[in-house]
Structure 1
C-alpha cells in the first residue's frame, strides 16, 4: 500500500498553530452578508443504494478469482505485508482503505484536539495500523469466498492457535487489530472485580416445593512446576478447599417437615440383611440368566445353550427395572467454598454457610451428601447441630463395595479369573484404581460364574436352592463361587438403582451388602453405612424425598449419576476446566470457584451465538465384550466344578488360591453371618448407644486375604544350589574326590552348621529405638505453628523448615504439631 501523504498532518498543525477560532457571531454575520445558508441539507444514501453497492462489491470479488489465482504466490508466501495487500481486488482495497483512513483521521483529529488543550505533543496518522486492519478484513472476506486458496494470514493464525506458549502474542495481535476490547492485564483487573461482586446464591430457586440437596467434597490443586531454585526436596505447593454444590429439585408437591415425624430405633429394628424383596430380585436376575441361555436338547439329547454376554444381561435387567427421578432436571449451583475439609470446624462452617444460603430456620433440616470421609465428620457435627441429615455418597460406596468383594475372594481365585479374562495389572485391579475398568472385570467374572453355575445345574438336574445344602466336602468350588454370584447380584442391584434413579433398589442393595463391610475389614464404611441406614429408617420424610429423586437425572435414562458422582462431573471437573490464574493462592482459588458459573455463562453466550448450542449425541460405548475369553472361562469353571480338588485345574495353577478348599469354604460360608453380627453391634454402640463403644476387632477379616505382593513372592524362582564348575574342569562333569577329602568336607560342613545353630539359639539384643529430642531453640521456632488450631499449610511449614536444621522435614514438623495439639486437648 502506498504511504499516506503528509497534507493532513500539515493541515492539522496549521489549524491549531497561532490563529484563534472566530466567534459564532462573526461567522453568522459573514454568512448572512454573503447569502450563504447556515443549515446544510446533507444528501444521505438510502438503504437500497447501500445494498446496491454491497451487491456490486460482492460480484467483483466473485469475479476476481482468476486474478487471485494468478498472484497465488503473493497470497500464500508474501515477502511483506504490502506485497500481500497489493494483490487484493482493487474495489475492496479502495473501499476499506478509504473507510479506515477517514475513521482514523477523525480519531486522530479528536485526539489532537484534547492533547492540544493539555499542551501535549500531537499524534501523527498511523498508516501501518490501516494496513493491519485492511489485511485482516479482506483476508476474512476472501477466505470466506474462496476457502481453498490457503491465504497466508488465516493459515498463520491457525498455526498460532496451536501453540500455547504463543497465546499471549496472539492476544496482543488481536488487541492491536481492535478485535479484543482491552489488554490481558486489564482483563485480569476486570475479572477480579467481577469475581468479588459475584453472588452465586442469587441463582438459587426459592419456591416452597424445591428440595435442596447439598453436596460437598474436597477439591485440590497442585502447582504445575516447582518453585524457582528448587532442585532437591521441596515439594510443589498445593491448595485445598471444600467445594459446596446444591442440586435443586422441583418436587410435584410441597413436603412439610414441621414437625418431622421421627421413628424410634431400638434393638429389634431390622435394618441390615437380605430382605424378602432382595431375595426376589436375586431370583429375577437368575431367571434372566436362564432365559437368555435358553437351554434345549438336540436330537442326540445333548444340552445346548446360547452364548450370552454382559451387554445382553445389562439390557434385560434395565428392561425389567422401574425407572425413577420422573422430575425436571435439577438446578445446579456452585456456591462459595469453605476451607480445607480436613478439619471438623471447616465442615461445620460449610453447613452453616448452607443454612445462610438457603435461608433455613433453626429447626429446618439440612440434607447434605458427602463421601465416606466427610460423612464421618458430618456425624460429629450433629453433636453441635442436630438438624443435619447426612447422606452417604452412593458412588463412593459402590466403589468400596467392589473393593470388599475383591478382598473377600482374593484367596479363592478371583485373581486367576481376572487373569483369564486378560487383566494384566492385578495390583491396579485389587486397589480399584479405575472404577469403570474394575467394574467391568467383576461383571464379566459374574456373567461367567452365573452362566457356568446354571449350565452345571441344568446338566446335574439340581435346583439352585440345593447348592449350599450339599455335604461339607463336596462341590467346594461350586459353593464358593455361588456366594460370589449371589453377593455380586446384590452389588448389581445397588448400581442399577443408582443408574435408574430407583430408591428401593439402592436401599435394599445397600442393606443386604452392609454385613460384608465388616467381614472384609472395612471398619469405616461399616460404621458410616450403619449411621446412614439408621437415618433413612429414622426420618420417613427424607425417604419420601429420596424416592422422588434418588439420583441426578442430568443424563439419559439408565445412566443417571449418583449424588457424589454428579459432583465430580459437574463440580470438580467443571471447576478445574474453567479456573484461571494462580490456583494455589487460597484467596484467588475461593474467588475463582465462587464466580466460575457466572464467568462460564458469559462465555457460553458468545459460543452459543457463533458456534451454536453443542448437543452431544449420547451413544453406548463400543466396548469389547470378550466373548471368547468369557466362554473359555465358563468351560474352565464347569470343569473345576466337577473336580474333587479344583486347585489342580489349569485355571488355578498359576497362583494356587490358598483357601479353595474345605477350610476356606467354612470361613466364607460364615463370613456373612459374622458380618451381620458385627454390624448389629456397631448399630447398638454407635447409633442407639445401648452398649459401650468397643472398637477392638472391627478391622478383623472373616476370611484370609491374599495380597498381590504375596502372589509375586510365590512366583520367585528357587536359587540354584548346584556348585559351579572350576575353569579347568569340563562342564557338566563333577570332580572325582578321594574318601579322605569327602570325609573332611563333611566334618567341616557339620562344624559350621553347629556354630550357626548356636548363634541362632543365643538371645539377640533388641534394637533400641533412638529418640530424637527437640531442643529449646527448635521449640521456639516451631511455637508459631502451635498457635493455629488447624494443620499448617505447606507454605508455612517450608518457612519454618528454612530456619531449622537439615534433620527436620515436612513429615516430622506435622508429627510435632499433631503430638502437641493432642497433648493440649487432653490437658483441657
Structure 2
C-alpha cells in the first residue's frame, strides 16, 4: 500500500533515491485517511462478516484490502527482524530456532483494524469491540480478558508477572515519605478497625462453607498547616479540680439557641389581622430553616486542605497491646521526643482503650470522634422522649419501621426524621407562644397544669435537639467553639438516658480539652476536615470512615484474607491508586470530587399536617382523645412525667460530675452502681408499634377471579384473628385417654401398617389421621429407646 501511495504522489522509496521525510509521511497519512473514509461502501457490503464472522481470518478479510496489506506487511517485517535477532542468539546456545506464526500476527492485525474502523465509523458494531464490551462485564473472565490483551500486545506482561511486580512495588513503598514536617504542621492521628470477608464462593452451597474474615487497624494521619507554631515546649497544663466547669449550658449555647429562635420567627413572618387573627408563612421546611441558621454562624477551618496519609496498619483493635503498639508506631513516624504529645482521634470504643493506654504513656491525648458522638446523641433523644410521643410523631410523617428508628440503624435516615419532628415542634411552639402572647423562653417557667403539659414536654425536645443541631452545624462549618459548647450543653443528657460508656468518655474528652489549652488552640483552626465539598466539613472519624475505610476497600485487590497481603495492600493503597490515576486522568476526563447536595424529599405536606396537629394538641387539655395519640397515648405525658423530664437534665448534670470526680480527677472512690439508671421512663417501640403504625395490607386485584376463588376471605374470622393473632395457630396436646389408646402401637418393634393404624383410628377422635398417628409413633418410639 505504501509503495502504491508513494508512486502515485511521486515519492521516491528505493535506496538509490531520496529517503522519505516527515512531510512525505504527512501526505501518506492524508491519502490513507481519505481512502479509509471512502471505503464505507465496502464495509457496508461486508458488514455480515464484520459483525458475525465464523473465524478471525474471515473477519480480517472483510476489511479494506489496502489496510490489511499495510499492517500485514509491516508486522511481518517486524516479526522477521525479531526472529532473526532471537535465532542468532539461540543458534549460539544450541537452542531450537523460532518460526514465524502468521496466525498470531492476525490477532494483532484484527485489533489494529478494529481500532481504525471503530474510530472512523463508531456505530458500525464491529465484532471484536462488541465482544470485548461483553467480556468486560464478566468479572469471572477477567483473566481471559487480560490474556487476550496480552496477545495483542496491549498489556506489557502476563497476570502472573504483574502480581510479582506489584508485590515488589508494595514492599518497597514507605508511606512515611509522604509525611510533611515543620513547626506549623499539626499531626492528628486517626485509627479505626477495618474488616474484610470473603466475597463469594466458587462452588457448592454457601451454607456449607465458612466465610473467612480478616481484621486490621487502619492508621491515618491528617496533617494541617496552621497559622501558629504547634511545637511549643513545654506546653502549658491547667490543673483540674472539683470546681472546674466542664458540663452544662454555656453562654455560647444560649447565644446559638437565640439564633435558632430568631430564625424560626423570621421565616414564619407572623402577621396580625384587624380581628386579631394570626397568619404566618407556610412555605418553609427543614432546608429553609437550616440555611437561615447557617447565615448566622461563622465558618472555621480557614486553612489549606490537609495532607492525608494512610500509614502501615497494625493488628486487630480488640487487644489493648495492639492499640498501644499503634501509638508507638505514630511516635516513631512523627519523630516525637519525650515531651511531645500524640493527638489521636477514634470512636468511643477505641477512645476508652486509649484512655487505658495513658497509664503506659501519659503523652497520649485521645480525641473523641464527633461523628460517632453525634449519632449517639440521636439515640439519647429517642430514649428520653420515647414515652412522650416521639414515635407517634414519627409515624405521622410516614415512618413505618419504628424499630429501626429506635435502634438508629441508619444515621442519615434517623437524623432526617428527627429533624422533621424538630421543625414541626418548633413551628408549633412558636405559633403557640404568639397566640398566648408570651416569650418562647417563658414556656418552661409557666405554672404547670393539664393544659400545657404537652407543650412543655415538647419544648424540652425543641431545646435539646437544638443542641444536637448546633453540634452538627459546628462539624459541617468547622466551628470548634460551636462544637464544644453544644457538646458541653448536651453532656448531662448522656447519663440521664443511661449511656454509661459515653458519659465516661465525654467526661474524659472535655477534661482533656480543658487541661491542655494548646490543643484547644490547634483545634480552633482545624476542628473538622474538608475533603469533598466547599463549606461541607467532616469530623475526623467521619472522614476516616468515608475516605479511609471506604477508600481502602474500593482500591484493595487480591487475597484480603491473608493477613500479610492485607497489610501490604493497605500500606500501598495510596501509591497504587495515584499511579493508576495518572493514566486515567490522561485518557479519561479527570474525576471531579465536588458533589452537589442530595435531592431529598422535603415531605412538606406531612410536615405541615403534623404542625396543625401539634398546634391543636398544645391548645387542648384532653390531648389523649386527639387523632395523633388516640390509639395508644404516651404514658408519660402527665404532670408526673413532665416533672421527671424537667428534672432529668439537672440529675444528669449531677451524675456526670460524679463520674468526672471518680474517673478523671479521682478525688472520689469509683462507684459504678446505678450508672445505667434512666431519669425518665423508656418505652420500647415493640409495645406500641402495631397501634400507631397503620398495617399495610396487600391489595387484591378486583378482576383477578382465580385469586378470589383460591383464597376466600371471611370478614368475621379475619376481624377476630386481627384482634388475637395468637389464636391463628394452636398447639395440639395429646390427652391421657388418647395416649392409652396409642400405647399398644409403641410396644411393637416394627413400624405399624396402615391396617393397624386404621384399627386404632376407630377409637380416636376425628382430629386424628394416619399421618398424625405415624408422627406420634416416631416421636414417642425414640423417647422409649432413649430410656
Counterpart of 2:697 in structure 1 is: none
> Is the 2:252–2:482 Cα contact (8 Å) retained in structure 1?
no
1:455 and 1:715 map into 2 onto residues whose CA distance is 26
1:624 and 1:712 map into 2 onto residues whose CA distance is 24
1:705 to 676, 682, 696: 682
**Secondary structure class of the residue paired with 1:333:** strand
> Is the 1:501–1:550 Cα contact (8 Å) retained in structure 2?
yes
* Matching of residue 172 in structure 1 with residue 144 in structure 2: no
The structure-2 alpha-carbon separation of the partners of 1:153 and 1:228, relative to structure 1 and needing over 3 Å to count, comes to closer
Counterpart of 1:818 in structure 2 is: none
> Is the 1:500–1:557 Cα contact (8 Å) retained in structure 2?
no
* Matching of residue 534 in structure 1 with residue 507 in structure 2: no
1:268 to 243, 263, 272: 243
> Is the 1:274–1:512 Cα contact (8 Å) retained in structure 2?
yes
1:232 and 1:247 map into 2 onto residues whose CA distance is 42
Shift of 1:103: 0.6
The structure-2 alpha-carbon separation of the partners of 1:380 and 1:230, relative to structure 1 and needing over 3 Å to count, comes to farther
> Is the 2:631–2:691 Cα contact (8 Å) retained in structure 1?
no
1:186 to 143, 161, 165: 161
- Alpha-carbon RMSD: 2.0
> Is the 1:647–1:660 Cα contact (8 Å) retained in structure 2?
no
Shift of 1:151: 1.2
Deviations 1:16-55 (A, max 9, x none): xxxxxxxxxxxxxxxxxxxxxxxx9896422111111111
* Matching of residue 346 in structure 1 with residue 310 in structure 2: no
2:256 to 281, 291, 299: 281
Counterpart of 1:396 in structure 2 is: 372
Shift of 1:255: 2.6
Counterpart of 1:476 in structure 2 is: 453
Shift of 1:166: 1.5
Shift of 1:374: 0.3
1:99 to 74, 77, 80: 74
TM-score by length of 2: 0.84
1:691 and 1:235 map into 2 onto residues whose CA distance is 49
Mapping 1:197-236, distance limit 5 Å: 197-225=172-200, 235-236=210-211
* Matching of residue 317 in structure 1 with residue 290 in structure 2: no
Shift of 1:587: 1.1
TM-score by length of 1: 0.80
> Is the 2:263–2:289 Cα contact (8 Å) retained in structure 1?
yes
Mapping 1:649-668, distance limit 5 Å: 649-668=626-645
Counterpart of 1:785 in structure 2 is: none
Shift of 1:301: 3.5
> Is the 1:646–1:660 Cα contact (8 Å) retained in structure 2?
no
The structure-2 alpha-carbon separation of the partners of 1:221 and 1:478, relative to structure 1 and needing over 3 Å to count, comes to same
**Secondary structure class of the residue paired with 1:247:** strand
Deviations 1:124-151 (A, max 9, x none): 2110111111110111011111111111
* Matching of residue 451 in structure 1 with residue 451 in structure 2: no
Gaps of 5+ in 2: 1-14, 695-715, 717-787
Counterpart of 1:359 in structure 2 is: 335
2:201 and 2:317 map into 1 onto residues whose CA distance is 25
The structure-2 alpha-carbon separation of the partners of 1:226 and 1:127, relative to structure 1 and needing over 3 Å to count, comes to closer
1:315 and 1:714 map into 2 onto residues whose CA distance is 36
The 4+ residue runs of structure 1 with deviation greater than 3 A are 40-44, 225-235, 298-301, 712-717
> Is the 2:185–2:230 Cα contact (8 Å) retained in structure 1?
no
Shift of 1:649: 1.3
Counterpart of 2:528 in structure 1 is: 551
The structure-2 alpha-carbon separation of the partners of 1:305 and 1:633, relative to structure 1 and needing over 3 Å to count, comes to same
* Matching of residue 673 in structure 1 with residue 650 in structure 2: yes
**Secondary structure class of the residue paired with 2:620:** coil
1:337 to 297, 304, 313: 313
2:565 to 588, 592, 604: 588
Deviations 1:464-493 (A, max 9, x none): 122112223230000000000000001111
1:669 and 1:226 map into 2 onto residues whose CA distance is 56
> Is the 1:227–1:236 Cα contact (8 Å) retained in structure 2?
no
Shift of 1:699: 0.5
Shift of 1:198: 1.1
Counterpart of 2:363 in structure 1 is: 387
1:543 and 1:323 map into 2 onto residues whose CA distance is 17
Shift of 1:81: 1.5
Gaps of 5+ in 1: 1-39, 718-731, 733-828
Deviates more, 1:450-459 or 1:234-243: 234-243
> Is the 2:191–2:346 Cα contact (8 Å) retained in structure 1?
yes
Shift of 1:715: 8.4
> Is the 1:499–1:551 Cα contact (8 Å) retained in structure 2?
yes
Counterpart of 1:597 in structure 2 is: 574
Shift of 1:633: 0.2
2:228 and 2:248 map into 1 onto residues whose CA distance is 33
1:309 and 1:715 map into 2 onto residues whose CA distance is 24
The structure-2 alpha-carbon separation of the partners of 1:713 and 1:53, relative to structure 1 and needing over 3 Å to count, comes to closer
2:19 and 2:353 map into 1 onto residues whose CA distance is 75
The structure-2 alpha-carbon separation of the partners of 1:232 and 1:139, relative to structure 1 and needing over 3 Å to count, comes to closer
Aligned length: 681
Counterpart of 2:610 in structure 1 is: 633
Counterpart of 1:819 in structure 2 is: none
1:693 to 670, 679, 686: 670
Counterpart of 1:521 in structure 2 is: 498
Deviates more, 1:373-382 or 1:552-561: 552-561
Counterpart of 1:421 in structure 2 is: 397
Shift of 1:224: 2.0
Counterpart of 2:118 in structure 1 is: 143
